[in-house]
Amino acid sequence: MQKHQYIAGDVFLFESDGSCISDLICVLSDSKVSHAALYYEEDSIIEEGLSGIQTRKLGELGERAIHVMKYNIADSEDKVAEKIHSVEQKHYNNKDPYSFGNLIMMGVLLLVKMQRNNMPKPAQALLTLICIQLAQKIDDFVKRKTEKPDTHPMTCSQFAYDCYKEAGYTLQIKRPVKIGKEKDKSILEELLSEGESVGKEEELIPPLDTPTSTDNDGGNIFENLCCTLLEWLKAHPTENKNDLADEKEVLRQARLFAVLLLRISKNRSRRLALAPGELVEATKNLKKIVYDGFVTPGDLLQNCPDLVEKEIIKG
């Protein structure tokens, strides 16, 4: 690999190396890249690998093509680099482990993706959110069983994202899930704006007939959630994939799913009805899940306007 001038915080996005895990990440994120790292110091990168956080010399990166992204901001490059290097060093000294919960969840996401090709795009987006919530629960479980306390498990792309965030530079992630041809906003943005602007006259969504269960039994809620999604899909067949379901109904279902996700995350199993106050709380929770919870290498390459591709290094 040729030597170039890099600074701490430059994002290195690696194309697939042909392994099953690498190809799986590319398939799930609809992207050519499967791994993310940051430039660290002295011609080395820092990354979250399966064995935990580590550094590697530029000359040891192998033959994978690498997309080098730089932060697009008016702030001084040196100032950005100094802040991010400090965060990188903190995580390295803390020996923060890899997030195996999200790795396990990749298998679940692949199964979902294989089954969802004929779903309307709004339903695909909502189902993805459900999977993200499950990934967090799996990650919590794995961390309790295997990880040391006072560490911050991350995937490779979450590490890159979090380093910027902790340095005071939150990366924008624009997920390209559109409600319809004429709409500029994604379904997530529509959902969030709906939650923030809802008034007292908002029509309540009828409660679901959720079986009686204990606080520790979230399975019945999730099963009911899946059944609700299935019934909605049956009621809204889409012959033309570009002809999406009625927008009002999509948002109505999205609000319902948001509340269910909120209730699942709080481990409460009750008859669920949507009230205006709950909607505001649910959308705040949804925003946290979506934008802070799950970032892929593909997001950093394709859906992050704050990062600009400067070069592609051929191994």
Q: Are 49 and 120 in contact (CB under 8 A)?
A: no
Do the bridges between strand 44-49 and strand 33-39 make them parallel or antiparallel, or are there none, so unpaired? antiparallel
One-letter amino acid for residue 286 of the chain: L
In this structure, what are the phi and psi dihedrals at residue 33, rounded to the nearest 5 degrees? Answer: -105, 145
Burial of 165 (0-12, 13-18, 19+ CB in 10 A): middle
Give the number of C-alpha atoms closer than 13 A to the C-alpha of residue 47, restricted to the C-beta side.
Answer: 20
Burial of 123 (0-12, 13-18, 19+ CB in 10 A): buried
Measured CA to CA, the distance from residue 226 to residue 221 in angstroms comes to 9
The number of beta carbons lying within 10 Å of the beta carbon of residue 217 is 13
Q: Report the SS3 class of residue 93.
A: helix
For residues 211 and 75, the model is more confident at 75
The number of beta carbons lying within 10 Å of the beta carbon of residue 216 is 8
- Examine the pLDDT at 244 and tell me if it is beyond 60: no
Tens digit of each residue's pLDDT (9 = 90 or more) over 120-172:
555 555 566 566 555 555 556 555 655 566 777 788 998 999 999 999 998 98
Tens digit of each residue's pLDDT (9 = 90 or more) over 177-202:
433 344 444 444 444 454 444 433 33
Contacts 24+ apart (CB under 8 A), 141-149: 141/101, 142/99, 142/100, 142/101, 142/104, 143/101, 146/100, 147/97, 148/97
- CA 200 to chain CA mean position, Å: 32
- Examine the pLDDT at 262 and tell me if it is beyond 90: no
Q: What confidence tier does 209 reach under pLDDT thresholds 50, 70, 90?
A: very low
Tens digit of each residue's pLDDT (9 = 90 or more) over 16-36:
988 877 886 787 677 899 999
Q: Among the ranges 54-58, 202-206, 208-212, which has the highest mean pLDDT value?
A: 54-58
- CA 251 to chain CA mean position, Å: 20
For residues 150 and 313, the model is more confident at 313
**Which domains, from first to last, does the chain contain?**
11-96+156-171+296-313 (3.90.1720.10), 174-293 (no CATH)
Measured CA to CA, the distance from residue 154 to residue 137 in angstroms comes to 14
Tens digit of each residue's pLDDT (9 = 90 or more) over 75-125:
788 889 999 999 999 999 998 888 766 665 555 555 555 555 555 555 555
**Overall pTM > 0.75:** no
Alpha helical stretches, state H, the chain: 20-29, 77-94, 100-115, 121-146, 156-166, 187-197, 219-235, 247-265, 276-293, 297-302
DSSP line for 121-189: HHHHHHHHHHHHHHHHHHHHHHHHHHSPTT---B-HHHHHHHHHHHTT-PPP-----BSSTT--SBHHH
pLDDT recorded at residue 134: 59
Q: What is the CA radius of gyration of the chain?
A: 21
